[in-house]
Amino acid sequence: MKKKNIETIHEKNRIINNIFDSIESGQDFLILGHKNPDEDCISSMVAFALILSKFNKPVKLYLSDHVHEHFQYLLNICKYNSIDIHYSDDFNTDIVDTIVICDTAKPSMIDATPAITSLLTKKSIRVIEVDHHVGADSEYSGNEGFCLVNEASSACELIGLIGLKLCNREDLLIRYNISDPFSRNFVLSILSGIIGDTKMGKYLKSRREKKYYRIFSTMYNNLLQKETVKKSNFSDKNQVFDELVRLSKIEEECFNYIIARKKFSDSIGYIVMNQESMDYLFRECGNDTIISVIRTIADILAEESGKLSLIAYYDNPERSDLVQFRVRRSENFKKYDVREILKIFAIENGGGHEGAIGFRFPKKQIKDIGEFIDKFIVRVEQEISGILDN
C-alpha cells in the first residue's frame, strides 16, 4: 500500500497510543533507518532510542557503515545513554521482539543485513514505523495500526509529537519515573533532524511545520539557558546547523570539483557527473562524503536557479550498477510538487517529498547520460512553463 496521510487526530492519537503500548510490552528493541542515512534519519533513530531509554528498554541501532563525522555528536549521545550501535548483525537477533523503522520511504530502502531483514517477516515481531514520506513510490514497512506516517517537515517532527504526547501520559510518567520527557539530548536530536531537512526552517511550508519548528527550537534554547554548557557542546540551534553543513578539507575539494560542472537551463540548475568523473571522486573521497556534498550542492543550485536543481551521478560500481538522480525545489518555488516528475516519467524506483526527490535507473538503461538529461530537462521545462502560464 502506498503511504497516505493519517485522516483524523483521533486516528493519529490511536497510533501513538499503540506505539506506547508496544514500548511497554516490548523487551528488546532494534532501530533501523534507510541506506545512506542523512541528518533526519540518524537524528530520528537516536531520538526514538532516547524515548525507549526513558522506559529502561534495551535498544540497539543498526548502521551498515560508520556515518559522517558531522553526526558524531549524535552517536556520542547514544554512547552516554546506554544505546548500542551495531555495524553488523553481531548481536542475538533471537531476542529482538520490536523493530522501529525511521525515515524510510519503502521496504527496499531499509538499511539492514539479510539476517535483520528476515526479522521483519516474522509475525512474532512488532514493527513500528515513523516516516514523513507519503504518496509517490512509498510503501508501508510497519504493522497496521503502528505506522505514524504523515506529511511533516521531517521524521523527527513526528517523533517530537510522540514526546509531546508522552508529556500528557501521566500514567506512563509515574510508572516509569520519567521526570524529563524532553531532556536536552532528546530536543537536540529532534532539532537536528528538523533543521537538517529544512535548512534552518527555510523549507518549512505549512503552519503546522512552522509551529513544531518553533516549539522545539524554543525548547532547546530554553534548556540551554538553564544549564552550564561546556565549550565542546552546542550553545544554540545555529551551531547545530553549522555543524551539519561544515565542510572538511576533503569535502571542500569534492564540493569544488562537482560544482565547477554546474549549468543552467531556464528553470533548472543542473550537474551531470559522468562515470569518469565519479571514478576520480571515489578514489579521492569516501562514498558518504560524496553523497553529503551532492545533497548540499542540490540545495545551492535550487536557490541559484530560483526553481529546481538536478544532479545526476553514477554510483560506485562496487556498491551498485545504478545512475542516481536528485531533484530539489527552491525555497521560493512552492507552486510545483517535484513528486510529479516521478509520475511524468513513470519512475518506479524513486521517492521523496514535495520539495525533494531521488530516483535511479540501471546503467544499462542510460546509454548516453548527456542525451538523457537533455530530454529530461526539456520535458520538465514544459511542465514548469505550463504552471507559470496558469
pLDDT digits over 8-50, tens only? Answer: 999 999 999 999 999 999 999 999 999 989 889 999 999 999 9
CB atoms < 10 A from the CB of 349, how many? 15
* Superfamily for domain range 9-244: inorganic pyrophosphatase (n-terminal core) (3.90.1640.10)
Looking at residue 361, its amino acid is F
| DSSP-assigned beta bridge partners for residue 268 | 308
| Radius of gyration for the chain, computed over Cα atoms and rounded to the nearest angstrom | 21
Give the residue extent of every domain in the chain: 9-244, 249-389
Q: What is the CATH number of domain 249-389?
A: 3.10.310.30
> Of 319, 311, 316, which Cα lies nearest the Cα of 279?
316
Looking at residue 165, its pLDDT comes to 95
Looking at residue 243, its pLDDT comes to 60
User: Could you state, in chain order, the average pLDDT of each consecutive group of 10 residues for the chain (390 residues)?
Assistant: 92 97 96 93 95 92 87 83 89 95 96 96 96 90 97 91 94 88 84 76 74 78 58 60 62 90 96 95 83 86 95 91 93 89 91 86 92 95 85
Q: Can you say whether residue 103 is alpha, beta or left, with left for phi > 0 and alpha for psi between -120 and 50 degrees?
A: left
CB of 167 within 8 A of CB of 182? yes
| DSSP-assigned beta bridge partners for residue 31 | 61, 100
CB atoms < 10 A from the CB of 107, how many? 14
Report DSSP letters for 129-147, one per residue. Answer: EEE---STT----SPTT-E
The cell 537533455 sits on which residue?
A: 374
Question: Who's near 234: CB < 8 A, 6+ residues apart?
Answer: 73, 188, 240, 243
d(CA 138, CA 147): 13
CB of 268 within 8 A of CB of 377? yes
In the three-class reduction of DSSP (H, G, I as helix; E, B as strand; rest coil), residue 148 is classed as strand
381 CB burial (10 A radius; 0-12, 13-18, 19+): middle
Looking at residue 201, its pLDDT comes to 67
